[in-house]
Amino acid sequence: MISAADSKYDLPLYPRLQPASRHDAVSLVMSTIEFKQRFTLGTVDKMLLDAAHDAESIYLLLEHQGMEPFIDLNIRSKKNSASKTASDIQISPKGIPICPKGKEMKPNGTDRKLHRRKWRCSPDCSCSTAKFGRTYYTKTSDDPRLFPKTPRDSEKLKLIYKRRTSIERSNKREKVDYKLESGRHRSTLVWYMRIYGIMICQHVDAWYVSQKDEWDKLKSTVCPSAV
């Protein structure tokens, strides 16, 4: 399910039934392509996903579709890597540059126009003779997974990513409140009819709540005895 995470009503947008054996990342590829083709009422500028979708190809796909990915980092290895640099600097599994002395460098500003982040080693580190310590730059274009446009340790990312719980609330409305799984259907078509009917109810609920004061005022005007 693709839902509107920035909606205070946790509204669903696009459901896609997938085989249980299919990996979540593969399911996402199919869903986003179909959604991009069919959803023409507006634009989507951010996609919030869990660690199951943490793959560089997913980042590249979403950026190609004009969306900025916000994906929880799935740390696969505890070893630092030098494959993303052309120097003696290594990169930790969390995307933090490591100086030749094995110390983590500290963030020292962001160039948002170039999507480039500056890192600096402490002046007392002997890895460089620079007066203010050695500096190093990471670019989103080098590795969108490790160096996303919005830094992982920023408050902005934490604030945006908190909205991912919206999909859980939306799923709860469908499965629990509207009893999606109570149906004993075998047909994919019937399952789609059921889920779309539930989604319509969710949107009607949100429409009513957002205009409840107007409806109450209209009811008191037209039928004052019913209030």
pLDDT tens per residue across span 131-171 = 888 889 999 988 899 999 999 889 999 999 999 999 999 99
pTM, entire model: 0.84
Rounded CA separation 146/65 (Å):
19
pLDDT value of residue 85: 59
pLDDT > 90 in the chain, percent:
55
Q: Across the chain, what does the average pLDDT equal? A: 88
Given a cut of 60, whether residue 227 has pLDDT beyond it is: no
pLDDT value of residue 12: 95
Given a cut of 90, whether residue 195 has pLDDT beyond it is: yes
Closest CA to 170 of 31, 52, 10: 10
Given a cut of 60, whether residue 32 has pLDDT beyond it is: yes
pLDDT value of residue 84: 59
Given a cut of 70, whether residue 224 has pLDDT beyond it is: yes
Task: Report the b/e string of 133-144 with b at 16+ CB within 10 A.
Answer: bbebebebeebb
pLDDT value of residue 39: 85
Please state whether 66 falls in left (phi above 0), alpha (psi between -120 and 50) or beta.
left
pLDDT value of residue 34: 92
Structure confidence at residue 47 as a pLDDT band (50, 70, 90): very high
Q: Tell me which residue has tokens 């963030």.
A: 107
Q: Each residue of 54-94: pLDDT tens digit?
A: 999 999 999 999 999 999 998 776 666 765 556 788 898 88
Structure confidence at residue 205 as a pLDDT band (50, 70, 90): very high
Torsion, Cα 66 55 146 161, to 10 degrees, reads 60
